[in-house]
Amino acid sequence: MSLLDRVRFCQRRDLGRYRRFMVDGQAVGWVKPDIADRLRGFPDTFRVEDSAVLLDERFGDFASRSQAVDAVLRRLREEGAFPGWREEPYPVGTDFHLPPLLKMERAAVPSFGVRAYGIHVNGHVGDGEAMQIWVARRSRFKPTGPGKLDHLVAGGQPYGMGLAENLVKEAAEEASVPAALARQARPAGFVSYVMENEEGIRNDVMFVYDLELPADFEPRNTDGEIEEFFLWPLARVVERLETSEDFKFNVALAIVDFLVRRGLLSPEHPDYLPIVHGLRLSG
């Protein structure tokens, strides 16, 4: 096992099994095969073809598209689809900074393979090789990655909320980081990947932030999504990444990116080029 293995784990997919999800003539995702078959039962909303699933063009604006899709998703949920339903809509579109074409329940997003966005905060104490990293253990009741190791703060980007606003909210809920301190988090780029798992296609962009924390800061979870926190030396974090699958898959990716950006993973590393290339992939 290696850091490169952690990167390649997020590149596994066979898109040939999926149908393109088309909205208003634009490709916005890949529909999971079993979901595509079930969408045939809703011909007034979706047209299922050999290579694509098309949202009916009579839904011509954001509101009507969102309403029509939501009605179908709720019917499928009653039939057992989309475990982990959150009542949290995500935007669906072709670009983060363009108006979305519709919004969709978060739990259904991987089944349609649409691009989702999120924030990940590397909370650290000190700098350089003496740096310590705050690590969280996810609740064992989480629908995704139960019990896995996580960042100090991380969360999906819901519809209708700005990135800075979401960061402050997630920081308060997940680790009791005061708003003034959370606002000191420094944007540091993004990590992206397209991977296939049991949910469907995870087509994600994670905006990453670095936050240096005071030595006396003690995180405390308030929303029940984190079981415990650890302050680990950097070497222990790297060792756990290289020898186990304990970190949630996309968290591992963001930490590898952190190591690259901070010069803690140098170009002399034999896997440096494929690692860096693999941190920003899209389908």
* pLDDT tens digits along 62-79: 999 999 999 999 999 999
When pLDDT is cut at 50, 70 and 90, the band that residue 142 belongs to is confident
For residue 283, what pLDDT is reported?
A: 55
Phi and psi angles of residue 3, each rounded to the nearest 5 degrees, phi first: -60, -35
Phi and psi angles of residue 25, each rounded to the nearest 5 degrees, phi first: 75, 5
* pLDDT tens digits along 203-233: 999 999 999 999 999 999 998 889 999 999 9
- Answer whether residue 45 shows pLDDT above 70: yes
**Distance of alpha carbon 170 from alpha carbon 221, whole angstroms:** 10
pTM of the model: 0.94
The answer to whether the CB of 155 falls within 8 A of the CB of 142 is no
For residue 282, what pLDDT is reported?
A: 65
For residue 129, what pLDDT is reported?
A: 79
For residue 102, what pLDDT is reported?
A: 98
Please state, for a pLDDT cut of 70, what percent of the chain lies above it. 99
For residue 24, what pLDDT is reported?
A: 97
| Longest CA span, the chain | 60
Q: Which long-range contacts (CB under 8 A, 24 or more apart) does 143-149 make?
A: 143/83, 143/84, 143/107, 144/84, 144/199, 144/248, 145/248, 145/249, 147/227, 148/246, 148/247, 148/248, 148/251, 149/240, 149/246, 149/247, 149/248, 149/251
**Distance of alpha carbon 51 from alpha carbon 91, whole angstroms:** 23
Q: Which is nearest to 19 in space by CA: 47, 52, 45, 44?
A: 52
When pLDDT is cut at 50, 70 and 90, the band that residue 145 belongs to is confident
Averaged pLDDT, 137-144: 89
Please state, for a pLDDT cut of 90, what percent of the chain lies above it. 93
